[in-house]
Amino acid sequence: MQNAPLSYWHTSAKASGPALSHALPATADVVVIGGGIVGTCAAYWLARNSTQKLKVIQLDQHALAAGATGRNGGFLTLGTAESYSSAVAHFGKLTADAIWQLTLTNRDLMRGVIREEALPCDYREPGHLSLALSDESMTRMSLDAAARTAAGLEAIVLDRDQLRTFIRTDLGPDIRGAVYAPNTGLLHSAQFIYTLAGVAQRQGAELAQAQVTHLEPKGAGVNVHTSQGTILAGAVIVAANAWTSWLMPNHTSPIQPVRGQVLSYAAIPPVFQHGMGAGLTATGEYWQQTPTGEIVLGGCRAARPDGDVGQLNNDITDDVQAALERVLPTLFPKLAGLRVAQRWGGPMAFTPDYLPVADAVPDVPGAWFAGGFCGHGMPFGMIFGQLLAEAALSGHKPAALAPFALGRMTLREPSATHTVPAE
């Protein structure tokens, strides 16, 4: 996979993050594979909470935040990639509630780590607005908001007049209203990874660039075979998301690569304070305006005949990019000054039931993995990193990961169409 074109997050970051070594040690206590949010958080927790001086190595085939984490919309939302009501229908209320509570814990952990480590990543919690573009969607979203409220999860229904007070431009005629989710976050995703990895490095974690080719059980440990040599590890965490199938080809068929495409507009005066989402196309759209005025906008995969399913690259295509350029003028006809500054793509990974997988790697004792975040990895990244670090050290799967098991029945359903907006 080529790194170009780079994302707005890559080019606007205040620093490029710690340098990755090309020299690998012969052994390590824990090897973490992946330089995105799950891998970086796992390395951070291992380095921070170790009661003994563990040798922790974090590997990435390219660079930190080179994959989905550095190419997303910069959202820290709550819950699953689908609606609360859909999650209840798929998994049952107890499991759906447990998953949502886990993302609340993730948000609290993110708040605490960003504050404690003084990470300069533009983190704020203005909330998220999901726009309803038809009477039918307004009814459906209102029912879902009522179900969330009954479960103790914040969701506020706004009619069109109420919504006008949230957005500093006129609403297009199709917008009926919205559901507002308070206390959800926005951040500079690449800057978060770069600065957190720097903290982990200062606490003893080592960072290296190497492409992992396969894992092999070796005595009480795991041989991690890479393009730079082999590391004998006591435990391994695979946080490769879209590339998971490269390392687990016989066990990860539910995890399928899907490319997302994004653009950013040059800075304009403030219009959108909140995280924003809409279903203008079947695969959904999402955007935020940064503190310096740029607008980052993604979605519109429905413009491709294949929905960009199966694409494992950073390329962009004219059809999706043209569809993206129509989003804001369609929804907000009087919005002025839009000029595209950057365009990029990036590989996500989806599962049939829109829920990530986090479990032990089959047939490789001591290895653990997470993937298939359905464009919704930020709500799980910090807590999954912590739980996978715990699993690597204890050898046992934490109970909180039970809903995300590789063997769950809902992963055997027919493949979904991947219509949920990615963030």
DSSP 295-338: EEEEE-GGGSTTTTBT--S----HHHHHHHHHHHHHH-TT----
SS3 227: coil
Shared domain check, 178 and 298: yes
Shared domain check, 269 and 161: yes
Shared domain check, 366 and 307: no
Shared domain check, 160 and 32: no
Shared domain check, 290 and 178: yes
Q: What is the pLDDT of residue 210?
A: 96
> Tokens representing 152?
């103790």
Q: What is the pLDDT of residue 421?
A: 47
Q: What is the pLDDT of residue 51?
A: 63
Which domain-ending residue is among 315, 349, 383? 349
* Count of structural domains within the chain: 2
Phi/psi-derived region of residue 17, left when phi > 0, alpha when psi is between -120 and 50, beta in every other case: left
pLDDT in tens, 17-62: 899 999 999 999 999 999 999 999 999 999 997 666 899 999 999 9
Of 101, 67, 63, 105, nearest to 84 by C-alpha is: 101
Global pTM value: 0.95
Which domain-ending residue is among 294, 318, 349? 349
List of long-range contacts for 93-101, beta carbons under 8 Å, 24+ apart: 93/151, 95/403, 97/151, 98/400, 98/403, 99/355, 99/403, 100/151, 100/153
The verdict on residue 197 lying in a domain is yes
pLDDT in tens, 161-186: 999 999 999 999 999 999 999 999 99
Shared domain check, 376 and 266: no
Which domain-ending residue is among 349, 367, 397? 349
pLDDT in tens, 368-395: 999 999 999 999 999 999 999 999 999 9
Structural domain for 12, as ranges: 8-72+189-255+353-412
The verdict on residue 35 lying in a domain is yes
Shared domain check, 338 and 274: yes
Question: How many helices (H) and strands (E) are present in the chain, helices listed first?
Answer: 10, 18
Shared domain check, 357 and 337: no
